[in-house]
Chains A and B, each alone.
Chain A
Amino acid sequence: MNLEFIELDLDWPFELSLFDLKNYILSKLLEYGEPLRWAITSVTNHPEKNIQIISVEVVLIINQDKGKGINPELN
């Protein structure tokens, strides 16, 4: 088992409600590992694309047995 700190930028489409945001983020984080501690650390507006970009900082548990790894480009 390893703990890894990574930073991700995620699209937050305007049609996605704030009430659904937590589960949306968790589903994205699970693609990289098991989220242990995370927070949204910035939100930037992109009205031309009809989205906001949220930055998430997270420490993930990487279980090597399950073969999940992190794409280094996302670090």
Chain B
Amino acid sequence: MTNAEPLPTLLIIPTGIGCNVGGYAGDAIPAARLLASASGCLITHPNVMNGGSLYWPDNCIQYVEGYSLNLFASGEVFLKPVRQQKVGLLLDAGLESDLKKRHLQVADGCVASLGLDIGPVMTTEKAIQINLKKGMSGSSWGNIEEPDVLLRAAEKLKQAGATAIAVVTRFPDESDELETKLYRQGHGVDIIAGVEAVISHFLVKHLLIPCAHAPGLAPLPIDYDLDPRTSGEEIGYTFLQSVLVGLSRAPDLIYKSEMKAKENTLLSNRDLGAVVVPQGALGGEAVLSCIERFIPLIIVSNQGVLNVSSTKMRLDSLSGNRDKNILYAENYIEAAGLITALRHAINVKSLRRPIDCLKQLNDE
């Protein structure tokens, strides 16, 4: 195959909606690696790349938190790839001393064994207190009681030189036992994932630097029916390592209004050649922004709790550019094939059968 320029591709698997692929502990990493290989440049978010203790650094993958991903998709923010971020560590005062020490040891280990640049470290002045919630749809959500406390500590980290922030907050142990059991056995929604996204959204909104969250949790008893997709969360004492690795090479976020001159190294939404999103999860902000801009949409069968489908969103009834801009894939292997075709300018219609004869405009 001839060499082709990368086709920057956005992979979205929304957090906390129980997708069959990507609804668990970094279980969409293989799909992300495949799509990164096919496209040469994949932009995706922590829910896809964080596997608890498991992670996969890939030079072709840009790790972009969800709030900044929304800004990127709408054209408000550009991405500036970097060699390394200086990752500040923000710890919730609600973490018990042993659990806090475990997280500090993970950070030390990432410096000693992976060569990451981590620090400074800051603990909030008091516990920020997490509330877990579940929407009528079955999606996980939540909020925090002390957003100002969290923000003050994060601002201090940024002022002290952190160019990205990993935040660890103490999550309640008394969350629904049945939900947790179902999730660990591969039949439920990650009940804590939604509020994790809320926390990172909140910090990115106010600081505009890469941020991601790891939950501080007491270890769970062993489950002999564990689904392999959740195993990445059973290996160690913390989920921090994948967050630190992801943030260490997350791109800088540059507001459009702060652009002084055209920089060729920046990625913008205009560079996007495709966006890959689960069928049923077409109602997110980034997806709607991409639809507005006619970015080719690859809709993948990947069942979750939502049914916001292409039909319900009236995508199937769009006229004109529909054939060009909306493609369907049964799985991420097929999506990788579509991206390869787009990247190498192979008409997807040429790959399908039956194939129609060309029509003359004046025949119509």
Interaction A to B: yes
Q: Does A71 sit at the interface, judged by CB under 8 A?
A: no
| Bound CA span A54–B306, Å | 12
- Given contacts A37-B66, A37-B201, is CB(A57)–CB(B314) below 8 Å? no
Q: Does B217 sit at the interface, judged by CB under 8 A?
A: no
Report chain A residues within 8 Å CB of B144: 3
- Given contacts A2-B147, A18-B314, A55-B136, is CB(A39)–CB(B283) below 8 Å? yes
Report chain B residues within 8 Å CB of A59: 141-143, 198, 201
Report chain A residues within 8 Å CB of B141: 5, 57, 59
Using C-beta atoms within 8 Å of the partner chain, give the interface range for chain B: 35 or more
Encode contact with A along B75-96: 1 for CB under 8 Å, 0 otherwise. 0000000000000000000000
| Bound CA span A22–B288, Å | 6
Closest Cβ of chain A to B132, distance in Å, is 10
Report chain B residues within 8 Å CB of A61: 147, 202, 205
Report chain B residues within 8 Å CB of A22: 285, 288-289, 292
Closest Cβ of chain B to A68, distance in Å, is 15
Q: Does A70 sit at the interface, judged by CB under 8 A?
A: no
Encode contact with B along A33-65: 1 for CB under 8 Å, 0 otherwise. 000111111110100000010110101010000
Closest Cβ of chain B to A62, distance in Å, is 10
Encode contact with A along B297-314: 1 for CB under 8 Å, 0 otherwise. 000000000111000111
Q: Does B113 sit at the interface, judged by CB under 8 A?
A: no
Number of interface residues, chain A, beta carbon within 8 A: 25
- Given contacts A41-B137, A43-B313, is CB(A4)–CB(B143) below 8 Å? yes
Q: Does B67 sit at the interface, judged by CB under 8 A?
A: yes
Q: Does B219 sit at the interface, judged by CB under 8 A?
A: no
Q: Does B284 sit at the interface, judged by CB under 8 A?
A: yes
Ranked nearest first, the 7 interchain pairs of A and B with the lowest CB-CB distance are A40-B283, A41-B137, A43-B312, A3-B143, A22-B288, A57-B135, A37-B201
- Give me 16 other A-B pairs in contact (C-beta within 8 A), A19-B292, A61-B205 excluded: A1-B148, A5-B133, A7-B135, A18-B288, A18-B313, A18-B315, A36-B67, A38-B285, A39-B281, A39-B283, A40-B308, A41-B306, A42-B136, A42-B308, A55-B136, A59-B143
User: B-side interface residues toward A, CB under 8 Å?
Assistant: 14, 66-67, 133, 135-137, 139, 141-144, 147-148, 151, 197-198, 201-202, 205, 281-285, 288-289, 291-292, 306-308, 312-315, 318
Can you pick out 18 interface pairs between chain A and chain B where the beta carbons lie within 8 Å of each other? Answer: A3-B143, A5-B142, A18-B288, A18-B291, A21-B288, A22-B285, A36-B198, A39-B139, A39-B284, A40-B283, A40-B308, A41-B135, A42-B136, A43-B283, A55-B137, A57-B135, A57-B139, A57-B141
